[in-house]
Amino acid sequence: MKKIFYFIIALFIFSIPVNAQCWQNASVGFHTLAVKNNGTLWAWGFNLDGQLGDGTTANTNIPIQIGTATDWDTVVAAGRHSLAIKTDGTLWAWGYNFYGQLGDGTNNNTTSPVQIGIDNDWAFIAEGGVSSFAIKTNGTLWAWGRNVYGQLGDGTNTDKNTPVQIGTGNDWAFIDGGAHCLALKTNGTLWAWGWNFGGQLGDGTNTNSNVPIQIGTDNNWKNITTGGIYSLATKTNNTLWAWGINNAGQLGDGTTVNKNTPIQIGTGTDWNKIAAGDFHSLAIKNNGSLWGWGVNSSGELGNGTYISVNQPQQTGTQTDWQSITAASNTSGSIKSNASLWIWGRNDVGQIGNGGNVDINTPVQVSCGTTLPLTWLYVQGQLQTNSALIKWATSSESNTSNFKIEHSTNGTSYSTIGTVAAAGNSSSIQRYEFLHTAPASGKNYYRIKQVDLDGRFTYAAVIVLNNVTANKLVITPNPVQHTSTIYFKEAGNKIIRLLKANGQLVLTQSVPQRSSSQLLNMAQLPAGLYLLQVQTGNETEVFKIIKQ
């Protein structure tokens, strides 16, 4: 009998140090949305159409919590509307809706999050000012909102106020869009559609298209992002590419000449993350350094000046930048310690620092009200039939206790223990708690610090994967170069790697005494692969994503 198992992300973790900053993801524009590590939703900035989601239309220049839910996962701050996915896979939207970009079947604004439909299989969202895009877990592509340039890709130029499927394909991996759209398929091919007056589709013409068209024949595209009138992308060899309108040097090729096909920017092979605003570009290299180019009139490049540049220039000297976001003339990034930084345009409070003045260097956004305690570290370690949670503080004031909370889905937590705190201390205090019955698979832990007056805050969530009951673990997954396959039991096995279309890529034999096998995918294009593991007459199938 053939058994099928799906492991999109398999974590093989023994010890995870976690930093005390609080931000999980963020999206900037004229308003900013962000999700904290505890799953709460926060917003600030422009709110004329209710895009903050707090039930009002009043701007705010400091982060405010939206509702009380703790199951928010991914957010996108569109031009004047907002999109979000919860951890249960449901889709939510709020704000401006003149073109139907909320997808709720109306054209009415709403000032609070509303669920779009009843489906719970939404996996990825993107916004395009007055259009919206999403991909489901089954790889299908959906779009709604304004469609004057054919940016929805459904073969028409008619606006839609509910999500419509684009074509019949189920192999879409990523999308980013606006008046024009870029998308990647799981086989690493690049597709584009929509507005093209400046060559931003990259097909060598300046003609709009209202259906997806493949750009070139390469199948090694890795990351994509769209600016208002141009496009950026990286390939699996970590080279950087750009095309479209280049009036402010936003392509980064040292000129201000438009390009209607992708051109390589420089010769570097170490580009990792990319983001595009209206007329400026950001990137993070493999070493964690931050780079910017294009318009800098509001300080959106973050380099301490207001001078625009037409080639990538490093922003500062720090090398702990992890993710980036850009829109309009505002930029943001989350560092590896989960701290959020924003810079650039700030006329409606979108930086979130309590002011309304543009800032040309990154500014840290506060995690909100903090209690008089300083976390030193939080760690988790799997032991035999148990999980040891350790943490330390460097100072405490009026701290009552720590409650250890556990979850198997990252959403619903229950208290599994309480540890008394030192109360008041200016020296390092170390604590630990032993969970004697971790579940098979992922175990989520968070520590709730409770003050004497009843106030509380959370440390960042840590994840331990108890693999003792699993037959097989693939780590890392997604993979950039090599992964290791860990088998529960040694024995003769045959492994086969196939592309999503069934094409066989490689076959390997696993020796009798081996309990692991190295899988080299460095030379393979990005996309979804299937790993078949045959033991005797039994075959198991696992999913692997190559980045």
Give the span between the Cα atoms of 18 and 33, in whole angstroms.
23
CATH for 373-466 is: 2.60.40.2060
Residue 437 in tokens = 């019955």
Provide the CATH topology of domain 472-546. Answer: Immunoglobulin-like (2.60.40)
What pTM, to 2 d.p., does this model score?
0.68
Structure tokens at 477: 């997954």
pLDDT in the model for residue 380:
87
Cα separation, 73 vs 37, whole angstroms = 9
Residues 17 and 362 sit within 8 Å (Cβ to Cβ): no
Amino acid at 42: W
CA pair distance 314, 185, nearest whole angstrom: 31
Distance CA 225, CA 133 (A): 13
Please answer whether residues 274 and 331 qualify as being in contact, where contact means their C-beta atoms are separated by less than 8 angstroms. no
Q: Which two tokens stand for residue 392?
A: 């330390």
| pLDDT value, residue 454 | 72
Report the pLDDT value the prediction gives residue 453, as an integer from 0 to 100. 67
- Domain limits, the chain: 373-466, 472-546
Q: Among all chains, which residue has been given the structure tokens 């993801």?
A: 25
The residue type at 154: D
Q: What are the structure tokens assigned to 226, written together?
A: 């769209």
pLDDT in tens, the chain (547 residues): 333 322 222 222 223 333 346 899 999 999 999 999 889 999 999 999 999 999 999 998 888 889 989 999 999 997 899 999 999 999 999 999 999 999 999 999 999 999 999 999 999 999 888 999 999 999 999 999 999 999 999 999 999 999 999 999 999 999 999 999 999 999 999 999 999 999 999 999 999 999 999 999 999 999 999 998 999 999 999 999 999 999 999 999 999 999 999 999 999 999 999 999 999 999 999 999 999 999 999 999 999 999 999 999 999 999 999 999 999 999 999 998 888 999 999 999 999 988 889 999 999 888 765 556 777 888 888 876 688 999 998 888 888 999 999 887 766 678 899 999 998 888 899 999 998 878 777 788 889 888 886 767 777 678 887 755 445 667 677 787 888 777 766 678 888 898 877 788 888 888 776 767 888 888 888 888 888 888 877 777 878 888 7
Q: Are 14 and 382 in contact (CB under 8 A)?
A: yes
Cα separation of 144 and 437, whole Å? 46
Cα–Cα distance, 169 to 94 (Å, whole number): 28
Q: Which amino acid is at 407?
A: S
Q: Cα-Cα-Cα-Cα dihedral of 289, 294, 296, 299, to 10°? A: -20
CA dist., res. 318 & res. 333, Å (int): 12
* Tokens linked to 275: 């983001």
- Examine domains 373-466 and 472-546 and report if their fold is the same: yes
Given this model, what pLDDT does residue 323 score? 94
CB atoms under 10 Å from CB of 117, counted, come to: 13
Written as one letter, the residue type at 380 is G
What are 226's strand-pairing partners? 231
